[in-house]
């Protein structure tokens, strides 16, 4: 089982994940912490990661689906602040106005590389971190 935070506040996620960790639940995901309506800051993301949670960063937030859309630079800054080791990339795609998810992920990777992320960092966030969630 993977327990995801959904659209709760950082305080609610911290309480939920603290209890989950006490119960032995090890697969924890912070759902798009960079979303304004979630309101997590870097300290929140690091605190949740300290409980074993991974921060799920989404491409859809740089598209018109979000009003106003975030910039790739903003999401890159959030990843850097939370720590690459504590994040994985996803699309949150599937909306008619957005590219299909495989293309969205490619665009996300390209955009983050333009923001200075290395191939090793991208590999961690697209392969290693998801593998850890699925196999641990």
Question: pLDDT value at position 35?
Answer: 94
User: Under a CB-based contact definition with an 8 Å cutoff, are residues 112 and 76 in contact?
Assistant: yes
Token pair for residue 53?
């949670």
Q: Is the pLDDT of residue 29 over 90?
A: yes
Which class is 3-135 in CATH?
Answer: alpha beta
Residue with tokens 């975030």: 70
HSE-up of 2 (CA within 13 Å, CB side)?
Answer: 16
Q: pTM of the predicted model, to two decimals?
A: 0.94
Tens digit of each residue's pLDDT (9 = 90 or more) over 33-90: 999 999 999 999 999 999 999 999 999 999 999 999 999 999 999 999 999 999 999 9
Tens digit of each residue's pLDDT (9 = 90 or more) over 93-134: 999 999 999 999 999 999 999 999 999 999 999 999 999 999
Question: pLDDT value at position 136?
Answer: 76
Residue with tokens 């709760």: 8
């Amino acid at each position: 089982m993977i327990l995801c935070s959904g659209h709760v506040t950082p305080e609610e996620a911290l309480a939920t994940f603290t209890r989950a960790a006490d119960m032995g639940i090890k697969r924890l995901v912070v759902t798009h912490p960079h979303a304004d309506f979630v309101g997590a800051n870097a300290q929140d993301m690091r605190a949740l990661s300290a409980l074993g949670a991974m921060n799920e960063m989404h491409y859809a937030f740089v598209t018109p689906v979000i009003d106003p859309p975030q910039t790739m630079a903003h999401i890159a800054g959030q990843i850097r602040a939370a720590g690459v080791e504590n994040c994985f990339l996803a699309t949150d795609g599937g909306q008619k106005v957005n590219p299909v998810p495989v293309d969205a992920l490619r665009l996300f990777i390209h955009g983050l590389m333009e923001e200075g992320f290395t191939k090793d960092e991208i590999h961690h966030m697209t392969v290693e971190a998801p593998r850890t969630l699925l196999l641990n």
